[in-house]
Structure 1
């Protein structure tokens, strides 16, 4: 009656990974991401210079790509995701990236994952967007973003409703 005894939905809080400008995943300049082929998520266009990239969630690092441009993670609730730094940056073979975490490491929004040399990446003709995509969402699990425009690192920007 009146929803008093309804269970509150569990949520995974999402954070900005760096200082920059929020971008919906549909705005990303790559059809695999913008078409949500890998899953739903969001992106941040980072500021110029060397950018520190932080974890978008509380969880654990699952893997670090040998080319340092991508890191996979799993949240405490079992949601799997991918942080992809730049578009087509795999071709840089690790140049422009410095990773600060190890596989299996516990992380939260204040954990520095990597440094990204945005100026170098742009000079190489690559897109600078940092994309967060959640790869194992069920049909009833939704990414809900409550922010637009400029963001700071570790800023709460939304959640995944479980």
Structure 2
């Protein structure tokens, strides 16, 4: 009769960290990502005007290399997500990237995490395809479903993956 004690259904979502074209991970021009050596996920080929990377989930920053080309996040549910900006961007030693978060910082979904110097990166012809990798897909999240379709234009904060919890 009354549903006072019934658990409310919520959705766990992963949003686009930046605007561009949603791309299948297997199409990324780096075998580490395309062969899913680091885990499954999706990629976004950046739009020409995209210059800020946003957190696709809320959690704690657990990895922020000095090069600022990648951010590792662990959610409160223990999901590990890597946002990796570009191909071979570690070789830039941080040039072109400004982190706006810090190691061990608690962040919210949609919060700015890295700013890009598009002029600098364009002059060096850097492939800025950005990958979102689930580095440790926990069993409870293995039935996540892709909401957008590969080839679709997405804007930062569009829901890409969701799961009913």
TM-score per shorter chain, which class?
0.7 to 0.9
Partner of 1:152: 155
TM-score (norm 2): 0.84
RMSD over equivalenced CA pairs, Å: 2.3
1:123 aligns with 2:128: no
C-alpha distance in structure 2 between counterparts of 1:93 and 1:142, whole Å = 37
C-alpha distance in structure 2 between counterparts of 1:161 and 1:134, whole Å = 17
Matched residues, number: 156
Deviation at 1:139, TM superposition (A): 6.0
Deviation at 1:103, TM superposition (A): 1.4
Equivalent pair of 1:39/1:134 in contact (CA under 8 Å): yes
Matches within 5 A, 1:1-162: 12-49=12-49, 51-138=51-138, 141-148=142-149, 149-159=152-162
C-alpha distance in structure 1 between counterparts of 2:56 and 2:122, whole Å = 23
Deviation at 1:153, TM superposition (A): 1.2
**Structure 1 unpaired stretches of 5+:** 1-6
**Which range moved further: 123-132 or 14-23?**
123-132
Q: Determine which structure has the larger strand proportion and give its number.
A: 1
Deviation at 1:122, TM superposition (A): 3.5
The runs of at least 4 aligned residues of structure 1 exceeding 4 Å deviation read 7-11
SS at match of 1:122: helix
SS at match of 1:90: helix
**Structure 2 unpaired stretches of 5+:** 1-6
Partner of 2:4: none
- Counterparts in 2 of 1:134 and 1:160: CA distance versus 1, 3 Å: farther
Deviation at 1:120, TM superposition (A): 2.7
